[in-house]
Amino acid sequence: MKTIGIIGGMSWESSLEYYRLLNEGVKARLGGLHSAKLLMDSLDFHPIEVLQHQGDWETLGGILASSAVRLETAGADLILLATNTMHKVAPEIERSVRIPLIHIADAAASAIKALRIEKVGLLGTKFTMEQDFYRERLASHGIETVIPGPDDREIVHHVIYNELCLGKIEDASRNEFLRIIDKLVQAGAGGVVLGCTEIPLLVHQEHVDIPIFDTTKLHVEAALDFALQE
């Protein structure tokens, strides 16, 4: 079993899910008392969130690259960046280490293609929805994306940072997300990517009739495929 290095803390709410899912996944695959070999560098999210909203991605890239180096030095065999938004600086991380980074959008794309879906809705932070880095990564797999309108993007962004990242799960916010998903379906989406690792805390497959792609779970499965390969 290879050692998985996790860059976490963004937020710790979703990093907790990564830890749980990775260990449950190893137990399901190997049985017995097996658990995942993990290293986690859990960062303080507050200064990162400030830099995100200041648009200082260069500094953020340096912070996360340094985290990846610490994990590699400690013995990690691969890197798992436990957040969608910060994959904007994935190239900086990849340049800083010799071990592979498992890209979260690639994991989502594999699941989308398996269902032969060509157009998906994308929910996430405003950075993920509005900037090119995530949509272009999906496009490289032949997948078209549609995003909510400006007002709905504000709602999604607000709920992520002011509720989900603080561990607050509100029924009213879930209803808003379901309304937004309905509009994405009307715009031609055959499925919806939950492109923020906190959104699966709020929206589950049972809440909608079309496929949803839980990027946290898909990312974990991709990491386990790599870590447990012969």
Rounded Cα gap, residues 192 and 124, in angstroms: 11
Nearest Cα residue to 6 out of 96, 85, 80, 68:
80
- Does 73 participate in catalysis according to the annotation? no
Residue type for 37, please?
Answer: K
Query: From the centroid of its chain, how far is CA 204?
Result: 15
Query: From the centroid of its chain, how far is CA 112?
Result: 15
Give DSSP secondary structure letters for 72-93.
HHHT-SEEEE--SGGGGGHHHH
- Does 216 participate in catalysis according to the annotation? no
Rounded Cα gap, residues 230 and 210, in angstroms: 35
User: Which is catalytic among the residues 85, 145, 196, 216?
Assistant: 196
Q: Which residues carry out catalysis? A: 83, 196
